[in-house]
Each structure stands twice: as C-alpha cells, then as structure tokens.
Chain A
Amino acid sequence: MQRKVKSKGPAYKSSLMQRRNRTGYVFITPFLIGFALFMLIPMIQSFIFSFNDIKIVEEGYTLIPKGLYNYKNILMIDTRFRQNIVTSFGLTIRDTLVVVPFSFFAALILSKEFKGRTIARAVFFLPVIVSTGVLATIDMKDSVMMMMMSRDAASAANSMQDSFSASSLVNLLFSGSLPISMLETISQATSGIYEYIIKSGIQIIIFIGGLNTISPSLYESSNIEGATAWVNFWKITFPMCGPYILLNLVYTIIDSFTNLSNPLISRIRNDLMGLKNFGIASAAAWIYFIAIFIVLGIVFAVLQRRVFYHE
C-alpha cells in the first residue's frame, strides 16, 4: 500500500507511458496486501516462534523464550531429524532424476501429431485431475492394507490379490513362470511407474507448453540444410527447452521437498496439527526451508548460465 501511495507522488516527471505503467501497482495490489498480511507477517511470527516455546491458551497463545534451544535440540540432540533430512534429500534427488527426463520424453511424444492424440493427452492429464492431495494417498493406503491382508489372511488374500492389487498386473503378465525375487522387482518397478506418472502431470503440461513455443521455421530451415532428427533434437529442441527444463527442475524439487509423503514434512505437519511442539516444529520448518533454498540456489547458479534464453 505504501508503495502505491509513493508512486502517485510527483517524485519525477512522468510521461504518459510512465503514468500508464504505474497503474500496474493497482493490478498487483491484492497480491501485495495478501503477501504482507498472510505471508510476510506469518513468516516473521514463525521465525520468532522458532526461538520460543508456545503455549496455547484461551485468548490466543503465550511465548516462553528459549533462545537457540529449539535449533540445538533439532540439530544436536534429535537423531530423527538428521535421518529424516537425509531421507528427504535422497527422495528429492531420485524424484527429480526420474520425473524431469520422463516428463520431457512424454511431452516430446505427446506434442507430435498422431492418431488418437486428443485421447492420449486427456488420459495423460488425468492424474493431474484425479490424484491430488488426499485422493493421491488413498491408493497408497489401500496397498498398505493389501500387504497387511496378505500377512493376516494369506490364503484368502492371495486370491483377492489376483483380482485387484497392484501386483496383479505382474501376475497377469507372468503368471508364476518367473522366480519370485524377479517378480518382486518388477512389481516394485510397476508401482513406481504409476507413482512417477502421477508426479509428472504438471511437468508434462509445462514441457508441452514449452515445445509449442519453438517456431516451426527453425526445423524447416535445418531440414533444408540436411539435418537429421537426431541433430535437430540436440541443436534445436533441447536448447530451446532449456528454460522449461530449469523451471521443471525447480518445480519438481519444491514439489518433492514439500510433498506429504516426505518424512520430515509429515513429521512437522503432525506436530503442527496436533498443536504441540510449535517451537520445535517451527525451527525444523525453518531449517528445512533454508536447506531447500540452498539447494535451489545451487541448481540456479549451476544452470542459469548454461540455459539459453531466446528473447
């Protein structure tokens, strides 16, 4: 708000264009107000919380100063936190390495003309629609139940598994002709594929949008010069998609780091939802936030110079 007022003052001579441009502030005002009230203030509060212990009382809350205790507790005493943070880094690296190439590949295929493309696209975007939030975890919970079932009621569950669990696909294809260890690997891989397809939805959309911005004339002229599809890909498609690859890397990293299946996030969330350990949870969230920021910073620093911007 302050900035808006400032912009109306006669601080410098303004041309018609400058005056027009200043109306931009009006358009972004909702966001600025929202950011101040619902992002900036809560962030400052949460930072303060991380140095305190919070007691919820009738009229609100009281703070009990603890200094650096929360941070020390997490980093030095609590062994779980360090374990969790290593796990989440591992998960994020794995996710990023699988999701970004996969979604790029899928987008390449879906952006070409072929019969039934509309249907294929509609199906590919389906996970974005039906597998968000709680809906995505339902299946996971069910498969956990399946495992429990096969332990508890082995015989009955086995026959049931045939008809509907995730590994039935594998059973269907190989029907017992392969050794069990191999079957297990395959079934893990297949359930993993499903998981990754669900995670890649938005990235595929971003890549398709990106591929569509490449002007066809580039391909035309390179074809006239006699370039093969292989060369076209590495000299045109890949570099022109650079910004999108970077964007998707960042998006996937954030998505994976803040996913509910992430052990650290679910732990922080449980603390906050149970309305206990506010101070420690806030400190953990901040350490985590800073770690994410460092990772993103490194990714940006390494890739930003190599990415080609066509402007």
Chain B
Amino acid sequence: MNSAMNAPRIHNPKLRRLLSKKNVTRLLIALFRTVFIIGICFTILYPLLNKISMSFMDETDLYDRTVKAIAKNFTPQNYLEAMKFIDYGEILLNTVILCTLVSVLQAASCTVVGYGFARFRFRGRGIFFALVILCMVVPTQVILTPQYLNFKAMNMLGSFAPFVSLGLTAVAPRCGLYIFLARQFFRGMPKEIDEAAAIDGAGPYKTFTSIMLKSAIPIMVTIFLFSFVWQWGENTYTNLFYSNFQTIAKTLDNIGYSLADIQLGGGSVVSLAAQMAYQSIMRATSTLLAIIPLLIIYVFCQRFFIQSVERTGIVG
C-alpha cells in the first residue's frame, strides 16, 4: 500500500490499486520464498549440525537433560578415538587414490565420447546414443554378476584393473548420465568455431584438443566432482571387485557391527544407554570424518559446478 502511495506520478486510482495489489503479492511471495528456503536449508543442515555438536560431546552429555546442542564437557577426544577406531589415515588415502583414479578417467572418457556425439553427424548416431541411454536404464544388478565372473576369469579381481577398464571405456555406473551432460554442453557451442578452425587448417582432433577442451573445463570439473563423490560413497563395486581394499564407504557401511563389538568402561558395570550413547557419538564423528574431505572439495569446486549447471541446458 505504502509504496503505491509513494509513487506520485500515478493519478489513475484503478492503476494505483493494481500496483498496490502487485506489491502485496510480491511481498507475500518474497516472504514465502524466504520461509521455504530457510526451512529447506535448515532441514538439510540440521543432521549435519547435529552430528557436529554431538561429535564434541562427552558421552555423559548425551543423557544429561540440560545439554541440548552445546557440549558441557567440550572435548576433541572423540575425533582422536574415531580416527584410531576406523583407521582413518589408511582408508582416507585408499579412498582418495581410488576416487581420483576413477573420476579422472571418467571425466576424460565421457568428455571425449560426449564430444563425439555432440559435434559430428555420423551414420547410426541415434542408435549409438540410444545405447548410452540403455546404459542409464539397465539396473546394475542385471550385469553385475557376469561382470564379476568375467573379471574373475581374466584375473583382474583384487586390483584397480576393473575400475580402470570400466572408467576408460565410459561404461562405469552413471557414465551414461555424464556422457549426456557432456554432449549437452558441447551441443551448446557455436558451429562457427569448427568452421573457423577448419579454415585455419585444424583437423577435428586439433580443434578438440586446442579449442574445445579449454572451454570444456566447467563440464569436466562437474563430471569429475559427480563421479568422485559417487565413488566416495560407493560400496557394491568396491566390495565385489577389490574386496580387501579398505575404503571409507566400506568402513562406514560396517560401522554398526564393529561398534557393537566395543566394550566400554574396562569391565565395570556400564549401562546399555551409556554404551549406546558412546556408539552414537562414534558413529556421528566417523560420518563427519568421512564427509569432511567432500565438503572441502565442494567448497573449492562449487563455483565451477554451479557455473556448468547454469550453462548446461539438458534437453532430451
């Protein structure tokens, strides 16, 4: 209402009413948006904040009614214990090696394949692209067993070989999605680039390596990030193909069982609740330890990530 009054040039009362209505709606929408966003952000952050607050608690704090979010006996001890318990140094190194290997290979292969689908009109392109879609649709369970048996027959189990071969040939799980993203990205680039490059005497390979790759950095970072993150939490494939390789995902998946084995208090009478509280704290701290590297990477890659989200129009 007020802002309409403040606009002195409008003399027509009808128009004025319309404007004020518009303003009220706008205000309501803004209010609704703010509530919605804050609500969702809270829902997303709440479990995380919860774990952070819990990870600094002594277990007596957990069943102390007066303690809510801030620990009374503030202690970093849990982190040290959890690190020792899950053997953090080793599994972190293992996971980083595996994830980097897999995601570098996938980012490279999917970008190349996506480029091929986006910039060349060859015979059978539609059919071949349908195969990419098929890769997305086939449940991994259908092909997992034969893959396992084949890798076993080729003596490739228990090494990085299965991961390398799947990543290099762009058929690892979710590679279909990445090829799709890369294809969309390259489709959006003007055709004139190719023509100009051809006139300057660059062949298709030269065009790709010296022109296209440079502008493809956002999409490659995005694929890298997606694939890295997915591999970080992935357990099925690692379990099957490289069963004695300890990763963070594998450790976390079994943490319930390994925590249940811990006995507290050196033989004294410890209540079930205290045991449970301790387990919960360890679980929260270990989960945080597993997520922290991802968060750090996200902070650095976030800009690229959102940039390529903005640019990639993903039309089917």
Contact = CB atoms under 8 A, between A and B. Distances in A.
Contacts of B277: 156, 160
Interface stretch (A43-51, A68-76, A174-182, A217-225): A43-51
Interface in A14-41: 20-28, 30-35, 37-39, 41
A122 B299 CA distance: 9
Contact of B50 (A20, A157, A164, A206): A164
Interface residues of B, number: 110
Nearest to A108: B33
Interface in A214-262: 243-244, 246-247, 250, 254, 257-258
B12 interface: no
B97 interface: no
B119 interface: yes
Contacts of B294: 129-130
Contact of B45 (A22, A123, A131, A309): A123
Interface in B119-134: 119-125, 128, 131-132, 134
B58 to A, nearest CB: 13
A127 B145 CA distance: 30
Interface residues of A, number: 103
Contacts of B240: 273
Contact of A258 (B50, B139, B233): B139
A127 B44 contact: yes
Which secondary structure dominates where chain B touches chain A? helix
B224 interface: no
A159 interface: yes
Contacts of B36: 109
Contacts of B200: none
Contact of A209 (B276, B279, B312): B312
Interface string A181-216: 000000000100110010000000110111011000
Contacts of B310: 208-209, 212
A208 B306 CA distance: 10
B316 to A, nearest CB: 5
Contacts of A127: 44
Contact of B47 (A3, A128, A139, A272): A139
Nearest to A121: B306
Interface string B163-178: 0011011110000000
B19 to A, nearest CB: 13
Contact of B142 (A38, A46, A243): A46
Interface string A108-144: 0100101000101111111111111111111101100
Interface in B267-306: 271-273, 276-277, 279-280, 283-284, 287, 290-291, 294-295, 298, 302, 305-306
Nearest to A169: B46
Contacts of A136: 233
Interface in B129-170: 131-132, 134-147, 149-150, 152-153, 165-166, 168-170
Contacts of A137: 253
Contacts of B216: none
Contacts of B272: 152-153, 156
Between A34, A131, A157, the greatest number of chain B beta carbons within 10 A of the residue's beta carbon is seen for A34
A15 to B, nearest CB: 12
B74 to A, nearest CB: 15
Contacts of B128: 28, 31-32
Given A31-B171, A246-B316, A160 B235 contact: no
A27 B171 contact: no
Contacts of A9: none
B120 A23 contact: yes
Between B43, B109, B225, the greatest number of chain A beta carbons within 10 A of the residue's beta carbon is seen for B43
B43 A197 contact: yes
Nearest to A136: B233
Contact of B314 (A244, A281, A296): A244
Contact of B239 (A124, A164, A190, A273): A273
A142 B123 CA distance: 53
Interface string B30-60: 1001001100110111111010011000000
B109 to A, nearest CB: 5
A145 B33 CA distance: 35
Contact of A138 (B171, B283, B311): B283
A292 interface: yes
Contacts of B122: 7, 21-22, 24-25
Contacts of B279: 145
A165 to B, nearest CB: 9
Interface of B: 30, 33, 36-37, 40-41, 43-48, 50, 53-54, 62-65, 67-69, 109, 112-113, 115-117, 119-125, 128, 131-132, 134-147, 149-150, 152-153, 165-166, 168-171, 179, 198, 203-205, 208, 225, 229-230, 232-236, 239-240, 249-250, 252-253, 255-256, 271-273, 276-277, 279-280, 283-284, 287, 290-291, 294-295, 298, 302, 305-306, 309-316
12 contacts: A7-B123, A23-B205, A26-B116, A109-B33, A130-B294, A132-B230, A145-B279, A153-B271, A157-B273, A160-B62, A243-B316, A309-B315
Given A129-B298, A309-B315, 12 more contacts: A23-B120, A24-B116, A27-B208, A33-B169, A34-B168, A39-B143, A122-B302, A133-B234, A149-B276, A152-B272, A160-B277, A212-B310
